[in-house]
Structure 1
Amino acid sequence: AFPREKVCGDGLTPRATKQLVSMGIDISEEAGWLRNKGLRIIGGGVRLQLDWPDLASYPDYGLVRKRDDFDEQLARQAQKAGARLHERCNVGAPIRDERTGRITGVEAKIGEEKTPVTFHAPLVVAADGNSTRLSVAMGLHRREDRPMGVAVRTYF
């Protein structure tokens, strides 16, 4: 249920910033956004300061916002575009087409009562984060041959 706190996602790249603009989200400072000019990467005794590239197709800045209201802002914008929002909904398992193996829906539990429900859709997007239940249920696991980044934040 919104608002909600989440550990990751306060910082957005220029690519994500472009998507917010395309969605019609107000990314002004007055709306609670702060711009940043790049990334600071610290690891293995190395410290790098990397500015965002100057590209014609993307802004030359990223954005920062407290995460506690960012997801709600995205959800409300999706509702305006016609999406149905189910808060306090816990997705547990994918529903697969026996013929193709493709995910065609999910099994979930809704509300404080944890009422079992089934959802079907022409396209299922698993936006369930780093500890994704759907990917694991589909037999997909993190590739050990690819690096993994961790974001750290503090508010002051």
Structure 2
Amino acid sequence: MEHADVVVVGAGPAGAACAAAVRRARPDADVLVLDRSAFPRDKVCGDGIAPEALDVLAGLDLDVAALTAGYPTVPRLRLHAPGGTTVERTLHRPSSVVPRAVLDGRLLAQVIDRGVRFRQHTVRAVTVHADHVEVDGRFHAGVLVGADGAESVVRRALGLAGNPPGRLAVAIRGYAPVLPGSEGVQVVTTTEQRWPAYAWSFPLGDGRANVGYGELVSGGVTRAELVAGLHRMLPGVEPEGLRAHRLPLSTGRPRLPDGRVLLAGDAQSLINPLTGEGIFYAVLSGALAGEAALHGARAGQVHRRLLRRRLGGHLRSSGVASQLSRWPVLMEGVVRAAREDQRAFDDVVALGLADGRLTARTLAGTVRRLR
């Protein structure tokens, strides 16, 4: 049996941030990260990285400039409302767009350089004991962190059900030449057809863009309909490498258990229900899991408290906004408010891409634009 103080299942942003957080808090801690894939590896994602996510990583003493090197920041965002209203403004702070094959590989390499061990291994079974956790009868840890994505083996081992269809989205993603007029602009577009549904185009800075389309699983969408939706909402796009993935939305997240097993990122259903954004949630929940992991048998309780303190208000706001967004006319009002007021625009961006709140300013602006 191979021992580690903390075993992390999943080497993506949530798992890497968790491992880095453990080592930062206790430099002598033995941290082992397990992942079924060799790195670098591709991951289906929109590739957009909000500056707040980079702030979390910088707070873990990671080299953010090295993570994003070669990919220029994207300073503007364009939103298309379902009724046709459009707003394009400069972001309060620019975002980055880095392919996950690049970002995740660089992030894991930095974490390994800081003394974390990595092993390619497919986890199949987790057994929880009073004083430790076993993985596949091979690995033994004081605390286990499941950062293993939407199909989390660790989550299933805890007996936690997956998200219901109404709290689960599915999206398809590929790469294509940047659409005319979209270089340096992140584009998010919606339509009343098959609502709620959205498409995106995020430029990489090399003439290509990450493009995709998603909607709720409860709508019964097929792969062919996902592809058709992408072409319908981004006319002229000719993507390559199309792959689909599921997005467990934060409106369906489970109550985290007490004890020695934690969940972070997609495994905890931390996907923004308004935008499908997950990297900020991943690195933040991973970092908090790393802090909590040092509390042993109390790790679950501590992690829950840290998440509630850091994200509780935001998650309540995004949940309410998600319910309100079921009416396209309200989304139209939000985009109109953002078009008229830079502060409302900034509030909407923070709510959809980071940890912002549903503000009175945005609500009041939305109501005025509906009259």
Give TM class, smaller chain: 0.5 to 0.7
Q: In 2, distance between residues paired with 1:17 and 1:140? A: 30
Residue 83 of structure 1 aligns with an amino acid whose one-letter code is: V
The alpha-carbon deviation at position 28 of structure 1 amounts to: 6.1
- Partners of 2:170 and 2:95 in 1: CA distance: 17
SS at match of 1:91: coil
Instruction: List aligned pairs for 1:1-150, cutoff 5 A.
Output: 1-8=38-45, 10-22=47-59, 23-27=61-65, 31-37=69-75, 45=82, 54=92, 60-87=93-120, 89-97=121-129, 99=130, 104-107=133-136, 118-144=138-164, 146=167, 148=169, 150=171
| TM-score normalized with structure 2 length | 0.31
CA–CA separation in structure 2 for the residues paired with 1:139 and 1:41: 39
User: Offset at 1:41?
Assistant: 6.5
Deviation at 1:86, TM superposition (A): 0.8
RMSD of equivalent CA atoms: 3.5
Q: 1:120 to 1:149 in 2, by over 3 A?
A: same
What is the Cα deviation at residue 34 of structure 1?
3.2
Q: Using the TM superposition, give the Cα deviation of residue 30 of structure 1 relative to its aligned residue in structure 2, in angstroms.
A: 7.5
Aligned residues: 137
Cα distance in 1 between the residues matched to 2:116 and 2:133:
17
Measure the CA separation in 1 of the matches of 2:111 and 2:141: 16
Structure 1: distance between partners of 2:159 and 2:79: 32
* Deviation by residue 1:86-118 (Cα, 9 ceiling, x = unmatched): 13x111121211x48xx72422xxxxxxxxx62
The answer to whether the 8 Å contact 1:104/1:121 transfers is: yes
**Structure 2: 5+ residue stretches without partners:** 1-37, 177-207, 209-371
Question: What does residue 111 of structure 1 align with?
Answer: none
> How much does 1:83 deviate?
0.7
Unmatched 5+ stretches in structure 1: 55-59, 108-116
Shift of the 29–75 alpha-carbon distance from structure 1 to 2, 3 Å rule, reads closer
Structure 2 Cα separation of the partners of residues 25 and 74 of structure 1: 9
Aligned-pair CA distance for 1:9: 5.8
TM-score (norm 1): 0.65
How many percent of aligned residue pairs carry the same amino acid?
A: 28
Cα distance in 1 for residues equivalent to 2:150 and 2:171:
11
